[in-house]
């Protein structure tokens, strides 16, 4: 069973929020096959600890505004890998080095990606 429509709605909101704070390499994975606890992982990268925390704060704020409730938060003190669990989706915001080291895309390679619709920058 693919990700719920609510999870797909939330991941678009989260991705837009992350993009607004200059998150890089945004990837959404439909993890409904191997996991019973959540539908989608959103992976994002920040350039440094301050950027990681800024991205995580913006994502959390926007998802709360959309009616999602954070169930668990981890990693805020270090700013290297912040995980925010919203039930339907789990947001992972990584520092560049940690994203490469943990390589969740490789770990969840069998899961389909979800296309993200992000605003186009006007240059």
Of 37, 45, 87, nearest to 66 by C-alpha is 87
Count of C-beta atoms within a 10 Å radius of residue 83: 16
Is residue 66 a part of any domain in this protein?
A: yes
**In this structure, what token pair is assigned to residue 22?**
């200059």
Mean pLDDT for the stretch of residues 101-119:
93
Count of C-beta atoms within a 10 Å radius of residue 75: 19
Of 34, 42, 53, nearest to 11 by C-alpha is 42
Confidence of residue 74 (pLDDT cuts 50, 70, 90): very high
In this prediction, what percent of the chain has a pLDDT beyond 70?
98
Is residue 122 a part of any domain in this protein?
A: no
> What is this structure's pTM?
0.93
User: The CATH number of the domain where 46 resides is what?
Assistant: 3.30.460.10
Domain, as residue range, for 58? 5-114
- Report pLDDT for 123: 52
Is residue 123 a part of any domain in this protein?
A: no
- Report pLDDT for 35: 86
Which pLDDT tens digit goes with each residue over 24-73?
999 999 999 888 889 999 999 999 999 999 999 999 999 999 999 999 99
SS3 8: helix
State the total domains in the chain: 1
Beta bridge partners of 78: none
Q: Average pLDDT, whole number, for the chain?
A: 94
Query: 1-31: b or e for each residue (b if 16 or more CB lie within 10 Å)?
Result: eebeeebbebbbbbbbbbbebebeebbbbbb
């Amino acid at each position: 069973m693919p990700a719920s429509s609510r999870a797909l709605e939330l991941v678009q909101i989260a991705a837009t929020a992350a993009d607004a704070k200059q998150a890089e390499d945004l990837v959404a994975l439909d993890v409904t096959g191997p996991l019973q606890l959540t539908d989608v992982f959103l992976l994002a990268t920040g350039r440094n600890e301050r950027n990681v925390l800024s991205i995580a704060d913006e994502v959390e704020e926007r998802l709360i505004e959309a009616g999602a409730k954070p169930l668990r938060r981890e990693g805020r003190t270090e700013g290297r890998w912040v995980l925010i669990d919203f039930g339907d989706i789990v947001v992972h915001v990584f520092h560049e080095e940690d994203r490469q080291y943990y390589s969740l895309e490789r770990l969840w390679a069998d899961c389909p990606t979800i296309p993200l619709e992000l605003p186009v920058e006007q240059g």
